[in-house]
Structure 1
Amino acid sequence: MAQYTIKELEHLSGIKAHTIRIWEQRYHILNPRRTDTNIRYYDDADLKSLLNISLLNERGYKISKIAQMEPEQIQRTVAELCDSPCACSHHVSALVAAMVDMDEVKFDKQLSTATLQLGLHSAMEEIIYPFLNKIGILWQTNNISPAHEHFVSNLIRQKLIVAIDGQTLRREEQSTTYILYLPEGELHELALLYMNYILRANGQHVVYLGQNLPFPDLELTYEQFKKACICTVMTSTPERDQVQHYLNRLSQRFPHTTIYIYGFQAQHDFLIIPSNVRRLGCLRDLEAELKA
């Protein structure tokens, strides 16, 4: 069972640590425990309880009223709110709770409901990316295992693949060809899949090469299409001290094309971005480039 600090609860729930302490003392809404060295910590049940309380409080329920509700009543009310339109923050919190339990049915229901209500594009921007940012806190503090990461990533990946498969191919005349790939050793595919979806939705021709692509295979593909734009995502690979070398290699090998880079490793301030490389801060930047 995971152990959370009060600061981690603050980040995940949106409730300030000071407020959480007041609620504990006044309404006894949580039951923190102590380690052998007398340090307070919270468990999965506390996290899920606070997520539910946060949802209700955000929608106007007073904490004094919530404290009087039975756990089953709180869960029913939260479920009703999560079924209501445009309850984006509610969907995010519900996804976190389902992930902690590794409950595929609940996770899929929330994801499907959000996608049906908003469409995939808005669901990615308003729910899925905020969710991934939140659970990034859990990954950094080792409160979820790689199994949790694989669990949520594969479910989201399935949704993206279904959405891409359902797109009508409408390649426009004079459309640009985009080669999409992940560097050798890189397996985090969600952003690249969403990039694929965006490009196809905008009538562009996509050659999707996927994960873990050796550099020589990228060269061969480029030779076939010529002048194609190249898009890649660097989440964990190349490593921090190798990113600049990799960017220089891309730029020098494909000097006459535009190369789009995205991902955690592409955001370092110390990087010197070659003239033919475009760094994307978010995928909205790619959409802006397409509409320019």
Structure 2
Amino acid sequence: MKLSISNLEQLSGVSIHTIRIWERRYHALEPQRSSGGTRFYTDQDLKRLLNIVSLQQAGVKISQACSLSAEEMDELLAQDLKTSISSDANHEFYISQLLKAGVEYDEPSFTTLLDRCINDCGMLDSYKEVIFPLMQRLGLMWRLDHICPAHEHFISAIVRQKLMSAINSIPIANQKETTWLLFLPEDEGHDIPLLFANFILRSHGVKVVYLGERVPMDSIVDAQNTIHAENLLFFMVRQRPIKEAADYLAELARTFTGSNIYLAGNGKLIGELQLPANVTWFSSISSLTQILNGENG
């Protein structure tokens, strides 16, 4: 796939200016040129850039990170893959077997295993200890070329179906008066964490208005003008430039001054942001459940 430098910025969170500096100073990437002379990048360039960012965030000097060969980066990623193995044998069994069924596109086996996991562990622990680590491992495997994007789409689709089924099984009668508005920004399409938050909130008897993925700001405003939700919850999952994320948060904070705004997702990104006064970071699932348990009390 051919990618522009703007595509790289959007997918990696590294600004165009920084990408060009890394290319010029450290030869981080070597873009190709089309027959018309236009520079473009490939999936391999994107993976290399993501790896460089990860190494930099781990404390490796940018000059050293950029100097590593693809083989050396793969060795480091392989180490990360090993550390993703769960210390709990039961959880690791489910992760590894679900992964095996997923890469074989074996829907019956995958579904049976996931149902068994949910029955054994409950939806909350299944998500925290199996589903979420599974999705993280898929990302690492993609960067090592061990899987293709179709595997992730296949697995995500089944997980999404299970979450929706669990949500639909929760009665909506006798909901509390407190309302939560859930959405993803216009450039976010990873809705599985948001669906899980929907499940948790509804399990606590909370009224949820779920807008889903890729919601424009004016649509959020329109919904809020009607429902007047006390709480807004959204996720920033993909990496993006810090300024872009900060500007979006600032706009939300100005627009919804009378509501509590909760943010979850990419901890490395969120940890670098200066959050507005009415924005709170949910760094873990327990942060959400603690608030809900406090409301129940």
Give your verdict on TM over 0.5. yes
| Kept in 1: contact 2:264–2:282 (CA 8 A) | yes
What do the CA deviations read for 1:107-158 (whole angstroms, capped 9, x no partner)? Answer: 2221111012122122112211121222221133343222111111111000
Q: What residue ranges of structure 2 are gaps of 5+ in the alignment?
A: 1-69
1:177 positional shift: 0.4
1:10 positional shift: 4.8
| Kept in 1: contact 2:234–2:264 (CA 8 A) | yes
Q: What is residue 132 of structure 1 aligned with on the other side?
A: 135
| Kept in 2: contact 1:239–1:265 (CA 8 A) | no
| Kept in 2: contact 1:183–1:238 (CA 8 A) | no
**Structure 2 counterparts to residues 112-127 of structure 1, below 5 A:** 112-127=115-130
Q: What is residue 164 of structure 1 aligned with on the other side?
A: 167
Q: What is residue 234 of structure 1 aligned with on the other side?
A: 236
Q: What is residue 218 of structure 1 aligned with on the other side?
A: 220
Q: What is residue 152 of structure 1 aligned with on the other side?
A: 155
State the AA in 1 paired with 2:121.
Answer: L
**Structure 2 counterparts to residues 55-204 of structure 1, below 5 A:** 87-173=90-176, 175-204=177-206
State the AA in 1 paired with 2:125.
Answer: S
Partner secondary structure for residue 112 of structure 1: helix
Label 1:276 to 1:171 Cα distance change in 2 as closer, same or farther (>3 A).
Answer: farther
Partner secondary structure for residue 148 of structure 1: helix
| Kept in 1: contact 2:187–2:214 (CA 8 A) | yes
C-alpha distance in 2 between matches for 1:150 and 1:240: 28
| Kept in 1: contact 2:235–2:265 (CA 8 A) | yes
Label 1:264 to 1:140 Cα distance change in 2 as closer, same or farther (>3 A).
Answer: farther
Which of the numbers 228, 247, 250 marks the counterpart of 1:248? 250
Q: What is residue 278 of structure 1 aligned with on the other side?
A: 280
Label 1:144 to 1:278 Cα distance change in 2 as closer, same or farther (>3 A).
Answer: same
| Kept in 2: contact 1:243–1:266 (CA 8 A) | no
Partner secondary structure for residue 219 of structure 1: helix
| Kept in 1: contact 2:267–2:283 (CA 8 A) | no
1:101 positional shift: 2.3
Q: What is residue 211 of structure 2 aligned with on the other side?
A: 209
Q: What residue ranges of structure 1 are gaps of 5+ in the alignment?
A: 16-50, 60-86
What do the CA deviations read for 1:21-43 (whole angstroms, capped 9, x no partner)? Answer: xxxxxxxxxxxxxxxxxxxxxxx
1:14 positional shift: 5.4
Output the TM-score relative to the length of structure 2. 0.68
Alignment length, in residue pairs? Answer: 223
| Kept in 1: contact 2:242–2:272 (CA 8 A) | no
| Kept in 1: contact 2:204–2:292 (CA 8 A) | yes
C-alpha distance in 1 between matches for 2:126 and 2:280: 25
| Kept in 2: contact 1:178–1:204 (CA 8 A) | yes
State the AA in 2 paired with 1:161.
Answer: M
Output the TM-score relative to the length of structure 1. 0.69
Give the stretch that moved more between structures: 115-124 or 208-217: 115-124
| Kept in 2: contact 1:236–1:265 (CA 8 A) | no
C-alpha distance in 2 between matches for 1:139 and 1:116: 29
Aligned-pair Cα RMSD in Å:
2.7
Name which one, 1 or 2, has greater alpha-carbon Rg.
Answer: 1
1:240 positional shift: 4.3
C-alpha distance in 2 between matches for 1:268 and 1:200: 26
Label 1:224 to 1:203 Cα distance change in 2 as closer, same or farther (>3 A).
Answer: same
